[in-house]
Amino acid sequence: MKKRTFKNYVLYIVIIAFFVMLLFVGLQKHTYTGFHTDVAMTYNQGWLQQGKDGSVFDVTVPGELSYDAKDEIVLQHELPQHIMSGLSICVWVNGQSIQAEIDGEPMLSLGTDDRYIFGNNFGSYWYMLRLPEAAKGKLLKITLSSPYEKEQYYMEHIYIGNQTALLFMLFEQYGIGLFLAVLLTIIGLLITVAAFLFRKKMIKEDMQQMRYLGWFSILLGMWLFVQSRMAQFFVGNNFALLLIYYMGMMLFPIPLLYFMAHIQNNHLRRPLIWLAYLFALNFAVCSVLQFADVRDYSLTVYSTGILMIIALILMLINAIVELHYRNREFISMAVGIYFLAFFAAIELWGVVYHQNHWIGDYVRYGMVCLLMTLLYKAARNMVNAVEAARTAAYYEQLAIIDLMANCYSRTAYNQDVEKLSKESMEGVCVLLFDVNNLKNINDTYGHLAGDKAIKTCALCIRKVFERVGKVYRIGGDEFTVIISQCDKNMLLQRLAVFQRLAGEQNKRLEFTFQVAWGYAIYEPVKDNRIEDLIHRADASMYEHKQRMKEKG
């Protein structure tokens, strides 16, 4: 048992080390060694913001920009005198519409002409503006506008370069988030499939936990997929990405809370479930408001944020309570919850002090830490389930196998007779075998010789009948064979072979070895029940035994 436990811990350590290694490698800064040779670079210097009175002033990019009275941000930049062919400017726009013009000539307009069918929010996107060679030395003006009243907007880095180089650069900077999102989604799918495959081998609580963990990982992965800033290169529908982002954010806490609620002996199970109901209600209300064009997801996101803070506080309280009661099922989860709380505190600090450039990153790290601890628990549950199923199968096999005779036991015989009583008995044949004078063999030659006689009888029966029926030991020296589809000529031939084998064994053994047998094939007129068929086989065997005694 100790060896098996040690192997389990080795498995858990290897799994966790694998994911930690992947994250560590992905987070390291490295030089890209791919195929592209073009260079993309930041283009943050020299930007001016135009005020509502037409005046211009220097701004810092990246940094906070102020809206004017028309809820617009107008940036301008004088393009260099020498512009290489194929250069583009890349801008990250967060929930804004964008217009671009060069010396008053419109070059780009996205999100300004039409609104979405349901709501105003334009989502977040990388916009690439290709610069014509004729634009050298001219004034580039970018106008960002919002459908909502805002005072501040955080402008991210602005990049310039060949579109291919820009794409590679974005993948280099944000690819780890994309990789993490895809990894979590795949893990969630694998856990969900595993929960389905192991559903008969796991107890109900463990199976439910596996399902909730799988759904949590899938929803979290979908949310992180959009948050990675790379989703637009795989899904072209911006509104679909917007829905995935907000719906994933509102839904992924639900399976997490259910997962925690179904941990064995959890003292806060009911509050966790009620909070999950609140998240579901919040999702329903926010979705109705969005699709009824009353209030967009981006304006109702604060309710989700409040619920997340409540959920985090409740999870922290739950961890403290369960550790107080020494609930061993909660130890690994408590570590993940503490990590999540730590990163959430950093995130909250960033919101308060307007550190917009990394808002969202630390919550992602905390969620990944929590998920890793949940995966550890899921792996442990799966290993325990497999071991329990293997042990149960072993003991079940012991119950239906007679180890001495190496055939089916009386328990298996009773189960199969019960099944036959509910099915058609057409073509069924029952044979009974009994070793003659077993008591005399035991008294004269000892019980080892008696056991040898039983094993020899079982061996002969198995050699002849095991391929056409099931062999059972139903008593000390009594055996039964049930053949589901029996032909009488075939049966008589095999009985003749059995008689020959028993005779050969009799010559080899130090005691007289004889086996009486009898059989009965189902006849509708005589056999109303399976017991009638067995009774006729027993009577046939008794007659054979009497004839053998008379012959001496």
Position 551 scores a pLDDT of: 76
Closest of 1, 9, 6 to residue 376, by C-alpha: 9
CA distance 264 to 552: 69
Residue 114 in this model has a pLDDT that exceeds 60: no
Contact 209, 259 (CB under 8 A): yes
Residue 302 in this model has a pLDDT that exceeds 80: yes
Closest of 499, 467, 497 to residue 484, by C-alpha: 467
Position 12 scores a pLDDT of: 53
Fold designation for 42-156: Immunoglobulin-like (2.60.40)
| Average pLDDT over all residues of the chain | 82
Is omega for the bond preceding 62 within 30 degrees of 0, making it cis? Answer: yes
% of the chain at pLDDT higher than 70: 86
Amino acid occupying residue 253: P
Residue 208 or 535, more confident: 535
Average pLDDT over residues 148-176: 85
Helix, strand, coil % in the chain, rounded to nearest 5: 55, 15, 25
Position 116 scores a pLDDT of: 52
Residue 34 in this model has a pLDDT that exceeds 50: no
Burial grade of 48 (CB within 10 A; 0-12, 13-18, 19 or more): middle
Burial code (b: 16+ CB inside 10 Å, e: under 16) for 256-270 equals bbbbbbbbeebebee
Q: What is the DSSP string of 474-527?
A: -SSSEEEEEESS--HHHHHHHHHHHHHHHHHHHHHSSS---EEEEEEE--TTT-
Which letter does DSSP use for residue 222 in this model? H
385 SS3 class: helix
Residue 358 in this model has a pLDDT that exceeds 60: no
Q: What is the 3-state secondary structure (H, E, C) of 263-323?
A: CCCCCCHHHHHHHHHHHHHHHHHHHHHHHCCCCCHHHHHHHHHHHHHHHHHHHHHHHHHHH
CA distance 357 to 225: 18
Contact 59, 48 (CB under 8 A): yes
Helix 530-551 and helix 410-420, axial crossing angle in degrees, nearest 10: 130
Residue 352 in this model has a pLDDT that exceeds 50: yes
Q: Poorest-confidence range of 40-44, 227-231, 238-242, 401-405?
A: 238-242
- Residues whose CB is less than 8 angstroms from the CB of residue 195 and which lie 6 or more positions away in sequence, other chains included: 202, 207, 210, 211, 214
Position 11 scores a pLDDT of: 55
Q: Cα separations (Å) of 400 from 160, 386, 391, 415? A: 75, 21, 15, 9
What is the spatial order of strands in the sheet that 40-42 belongs to? 40-42, 158-162, 87-94, 124-130
The CATH number of 407-551 is 3.30.70.270
CA 364 to chain centre: 19
Which letter does DSSP use for residue 349 in this model? H
Position 62 scores a pLDDT of: 86
Which letter does DSSP use for residue 71 in this model? S
Closest of 450, 421, 520, 365 to residue 26, by C-alpha: 365
Residue 447 or 338, more confident: 447
Amino acid occupying residue 479: F
Amino acid occupying residue 347: E
Q: What is the pLDDT of residues 472-531, one digit of tens each?
A: 999 888 999 999 888 889 999 999 999 999 999 999 989 999 999 999 999 888 888 889
2 SS3 class: helix
Q: What is the pLDDT of residues 184-197, one digit of tens each?
A: 889 889 888 887 87
Position 30 scores a pLDDT of: 46
Residue 339 or 202, more confident: 339
Radius of gyration of the chain from its Cα atoms, rounded to whole angstroms: 39
% of the chain at pLDDT higher than 90: 19
Q: Poorest-confidence range of 23-37, 325-339, 469-483?
A: 23-37
Q: Can you name the residues that pair with 408 across neighbouring β-strands?
A: 401, 472
Residue 480 or 108, more confident: 480
Closest of 514, 517, 527 to residue 495, by C-alpha: 517
Contact 449, 441 (CB under 8 A): yes
Closest of 399, 511, 538, 400 to residue 451, by C-alpha: 511
Position 38 scores a pLDDT of: 64
Residue 7 in this model has a pLDDT that exceeds 70: no
Amino acid occupying residue 286: C
Position 453 scores a pLDDT of: 92
Q: Poorest-confidence range of 78-92, 111-125, 486-500?
A: 111-125
**Distance between start and end Cα atoms, the chain:** 57
Residue 215's H or E segment, with its range, is: helix 204-227
Residue 3 in this model has a pLDDT that exceeds 70: no
Q: Can you name the residues that pair with 42 across neighbouring β-strands?
A: 159
Residue 119 in this model has a pLDDT that exceeds 60: no
Region class of 175: left (phi > 0), else alpha (psi between -120 and 50), else beta: alpha
Contact 65, 152 (CB under 8 A): yes
CA distance 438 to 455: 12
Going by pLDDT thresholds of 50, 70 and 90, the confidence category of residue 452 is: very high
Helix 238-251 and helix 204-227, axial crossing angle in degrees, nearest 10: 140
Average pLDDT over residues 417-424: 86
